[in-house]
Chain A
Amino acid sequence: MRKTFALLTDQDWKSLLSRATEKSYKNNDLIIAEGSVQSNLYLILSGFVHITGGKEKSKLTLDRLGPNEVFGEMSFLENAPASASVVAEDNVIVQQIESAHLNSLLASDYGFSSRFYNSLAITLSERLRDLQTNQKELNINEIAQVNRFHSTRLGHITYRQIPVELKNSIHEFDAATLELEEKLNKGGNLEESTTKIQKLCDNIVESLNHFTQSEFLLKMGFEDLMSFRDTDQLDIGIGAYIFRETFPKFMLSETMAHCYMKPRGFIDDFKVNELIYANQPWGDGQLGSLIDQWFLEGDFCSSRREDQSYMTDFINNKFRNSTSILNILSLASGSGFELFAALKDLEQEKVRATLIDIDQEALEHANELGNKNQNNNHTLSYINQNIIGVLEGRLQFQISLQNIIYATGFCDYLLDDQLIELLNWMYKHLKIGGQAVINVTTPSHPDRNLLTHILEWVMHNRTQEDLELLISRSTFTKAIKFRTNSFGISTFAILEK
């Protein structure tokens, strides 16, 4: 926590507060409105406030201040309208120092004046430094996801090394999809075409899985030792071959194209999840829609939808009929679809939800979703922050103790040490009895090769045993419950402080 006006002496504080007015604010009360003309200085005595700013309809939380911290100093200094809004969290008591009183103090006491401006300069300098650090951390290079950008996958394998069976399978796919497309254009039977395209796409995934098995890759390596390729290179080579050959067809699907293109610059963005959760097949032409349908109905997407429902139910069950204010924090939240789905059903309960994500657009989208279901019982904060930077101690981040902290789909992009840090961080920020929820994707899921090789969607997959081991190395030491979804793809761990 920043200590504002650290250079002021006790006597200075006495003089400063001698004419201050104590004011109380309730939860969600607006203390300062952005753009309002005011030049008073505020010292927080108890409680927390958050500073919000940004676009008109999608305000993000810029900072959070607590006891002994001061706000309003920028307006005082510049005598300009407030640059951001200050909103109370819970019951907040502040000392309001009138600008007239402060100005008279500054004019009459040169020692005070010197210490005041010196302190202010330090505070503002610290803020600038924090801002620069945050800006750097919000750079696309700093996000957790691995293999974010398309990399060249050439030179791992020669055409001669491609197994004949695989070539045949690809040719069959090409010819059959072409034939199917023509039939569809001529008004062919949609139901029949759906079955056929699903079979063809399944065959491709089956081929991909078969020819990238380690046993097969080893044999392939032995067949041509003088090409000096190891199994990883052969795996990439086979995947790249299938990718190149099937690209024109798979990219007809809206979801698959989005997954591959990564318009936000990284994989698994909020838009991908929105498309998966919406489950409304779309694409270029009828063939595109059919391929999209195949992908959306696949195990991986279905598993994602089930996970979303599970998380929604989890929040609902924990918060339902609760009378006190409940804090929930979503890390790497994206647009927090599961949270808003849960809040819809928690109309009477008082929930203070915080969403943290590196993607500002995702938070703006979340803000829009939050505004749609506006409920005075709910307080929503959107923080544009890189949680990896927080975990690794590069960024300071204040938050009150939470009832629930969860991160779904986030651990798949963390290294082991980062995951342990995440767990430790969650533990530190939970109330006693509070619960944390994380999940991992199993390495043996059937769509793994499709994601890796065709969509360039790479994860650090983990089994339940791997997760248990990592949890045992964290402050939690063990989970109270593990839950694997019905597809056997995703495993949730529920942890309690």
Chain B
Amino acid sequence: MYKPFNLINDSATSLQPDEKIENSIVEKLRAKLWCSDPLADAVTNDFALMQPGKGSEMLNQALNYGVHTVSGAPDSLLQFFAQVDNLPIWADYKELNQGAMTFLRSGGLGAAALLCHSLPTGYLDPEGSRPLLFSGRLVQRAPRRLLETARFVYECIRPGGMDRYGNGFKICIRVRLMHAQVRRLLLRSGRWNTKEWGIPINQWHLLGTNVLFSMTVVDALRHWGMFINSREEESIYAFWRYNGYLIGIDTEIQCATRTECRRMVSLIETIRLPATPDSIILTKALLDAGAIMVKRIIGLPMQKMTISILAGLTRNLLGKRRADELGLPSNFWRFFPLFLRPVVFCFEILRLIIPGSTRFAIIIGNRLWERALEIGLQGRDASFAFPQSLQKLKSPDTLIKDKKNA
């Protein structure tokens, strides 16, 4: 039987757990494997009983104009929006904005940190990525997943993104309901073993993903030479904490500080099962998709070399043991950060010396994200695209042909 909280394997990780993890925390978190998001689940259950498109219509109305404008809204939707419309007492828009700007000024490095550190770390845990296996077409869907993730992050960190009517806010809500729908699908399909695997996309995995998007990114950026002071770091955690609140993570387990995030990452690393062949496939597909995006965005023609660079960066960040688990090649590019770090360091020194350059870095970062998504989404509007829309996107080859024709 699957024992996700097997603490015997302490020495198996290259990351050193901060302290001996208390059993009480482990037990508390163990229960979260079987906890879902009741508010979102209730909404999807009600939407499922409506005519096709009716639920989405109500959701759009509630997101764009407030739930009070939705006629005939089910109680579940009212309760759901009562929660998300309520700004938690600890959330401060100024701090959230600072966190977002810090992330934004990292530009391509931030995206690379997500690509090379956060997502592969997530794939290390086979239980976390199990719902993906049921969706089928692991490899073919990788670009789509990467694009969705990039879009999600960008819409959240761009100025005003997390305001009530900002795109980031709306995407968080949609993603939350999509998670609820995945849970619904899997649980009703009769193919999900809840007893063994917990609830699909449970509180534990939601929290894990949330922490991977905050602390592991900060770690990667610092590793590559970016200066992030403690106030900026705290603001990043606050930003992702609010993001987690919107995405449906139980406030009781959300991480507010570096210590809490660190403890959570240690927990994840300590208790996870070894990576499976599916983890390797997912990581490979992710790096391939990353290389395709790099090729599309900056026109770097050598796709194989880009994959090698990304693999090297990932290996460097994950460490030997975890990189081996994911089947990452041990190539020359793992030393790339040795070169990257002084370069970034120099830019950061200049940023700190020259007045206004932090603002300039944010503008550049914002432009980079925007440009990357413009190319990635091929000129589609800025609202979060539903999967069926993404399906209709043209393939890169078609796009190139179209450009040539133009």
User: Is A228 within 8 A of B191, CB to CB?
Assistant: no
Residue A486 lies at the interface, judged by CB distance under 8 Å to chain B: no
Residue A167 lies at the interface, judged by CB distance under 8 Å to chain B: no
Total contacting residues, chain B, CB less than 8 A: 30
Q: How far is the CA of A434 from the CA of B182 in the complex (A)?
A: 53
CB-based nearest B residue for A221: B185
Contacting residues, chain A, for B189 (C-beta < 8 A): 214, 217-218, 221, 230-231
Which of A154-162, A169-177, A321-329 has 4 or more CB atoms under 8 Å from chain B? A154-162
CB distance from B59 to the nearest CB of A (A): 8
Residue A452 lies at the interface, judged by CB distance under 8 Å to chain B: no
Q: Contacts A218-B191, A231-B189; is A223 near B388 (CB within 8 Å)?
A: yes
CB-based nearest B residue for A232: B188
User: Is A228 within 8 A of B181, CB to CB?
Assistant: yes
Q: How far is the CA of A228 from the CA of B386 in the complex (A)?
A: 12
Contact flags B187-199 to A (C-beta < 8 A → 1, else 0): 0111100000000
Q: How far is the CA of A157 from the CA of B52 in the complex (A)?
A: 7
Cβ-neighbour of A225 out of B53, B181, B191 (below 8 A): B181
User: Is A226 within 8 A of B174, CB to CB?
Assistant: yes
User: Is A158 within 8 A of B53, CB to CB?
Assistant: yes
Contact flags A207-225 to B (C-beta < 8 A → 1, else 0): 0000000110111011111
Contacting residues, chain A, for B55 (C-beta < 8 A): 226-228
Residue B400 lies at the interface, judged by CB distance under 8 Å to chain A: no
Q: Contacts A222-B134, A226-B177; is A155 near B51 (CB within 8 Å)?
A: yes
CB-based nearest A residue for B186: A218
Residue B387 lies at the interface, judged by CB distance under 8 Å to chain A: yes
CB distance from A240 to the nearest CB of B (A): 12
Q: Contacts A160-B388, A214-B191; is A219 near B137 (CB within 8 Å)?
A: yes
Residue B44 lies at the interface, judged by CB distance under 8 Å to chain A: yes
Residue B391 lies at the interface, judged by CB distance under 8 Å to chain A: yes
Q: Contacts A223-B387, A223-B388, A230-B184; is A218 near B136 (CB within 8 Å)?
A: yes
Q: How far is the CA of A229 from the CA of B191 in the complex (A)?
A: 16
Q: How far is the CA of A20 from the CA of B185 in the complex (A)?
A: 76
Contacting residues, chain B, for A226 (C-beta < 8 A): 55-56, 59, 174, 177-178, 181, 386-388
User: Is A219 within 8 A of B388, CB to CB?
Assistant: no
Residue A233 lies at the interface, judged by CB distance under 8 Å to chain B: yes
Q: Contacts A158-B53, A218-B135, A219-B137; is A224 near B185 (CB within 8 Å)?
A: no
Q: How far is the CA of A11 from the CA of B49 in the complex (A)?
A: 70
Interface positions of B from 134 to 172, Cβ below 8 Å from A: 134-137
User: Is B44 within 8 A of A228, CB to CB?
Assistant: yes
Q: Contacts A219-B136, A230-B48; is A225 near B56 (CB within 8 Å)?
A: no
User: Is B185 within 8 A of A222, CB to CB?
Assistant: yes
CB-based nearest A residue for B134: A218
CB-based nearest B residue for A157: B52
Residue B333 lies at the interface, judged by CB distance under 8 Å to chain A: no
Interface positions of A from 223 to 249, Cβ below 8 Å from B: 223-233
CB-based nearest A residue for B189: A231
Q: How far is the CA of A291 from the CA of B387 in the complex (A)?
A: 40
Q: How far is the CA of A473 from the CA of B53 in the complex (A)?
A: 46
CB-based nearest B residue for A224: B388
Q: How far is the CA of A232 from the CA of B47 in the complex (A)?
A: 15
Q: How far is the CA of A219 from the CA of B138 in the complex (A)?
A: 11
CB-based nearest A residue for B132: A222
User: Is A230 within 8 A of B388, CB to CB?
Assistant: no
CB-based nearest B residue for A233: B48
Contact flags B38-69 to A (C-beta < 8 A → 1, else 0): 00000010011011110110010000000000
Contacting residues, chain A, for B182 (C-beta < 8 A): 222, 225
The 7 A-B residue pairs with the shortest CB-CB distance in the complex, in nearest-first order: A222-B135, A228-B47, A219-B136, A221-B185, A230-B188, A225-B181, A158-B52
Known: A222-B182, A227-B53, A228-B55. 10 other contacts (CB 8 A): A218-B136, A218-B186, A223-B388, A225-B182, A226-B174, A226-B387, A226-B388, A228-B56, A228-B181, A231-B188
Write 27 A-B pairs (CB below 8 A) sorted by A numbering: A155-B52, A156-B52, A157-B52, A158-B53, A214-B191, A215-B191, A218-B135, A218-B136, A219-B135, A219-B136, A219-B137, A221-B185, A221-B189, A222-B135, A222-B136, A222-B182, A223-B388, A225-B386, A225-B387, A226-B56, A226-B178, A226-B181, A226-B386, A228-B44, A229-B52, A231-B185, A232-B188
Q: Which chain A residues have a beta carbon within 8 Å of chain B's beta carbons?
A: 155-158, 160, 214-215, 217-219, 221-233
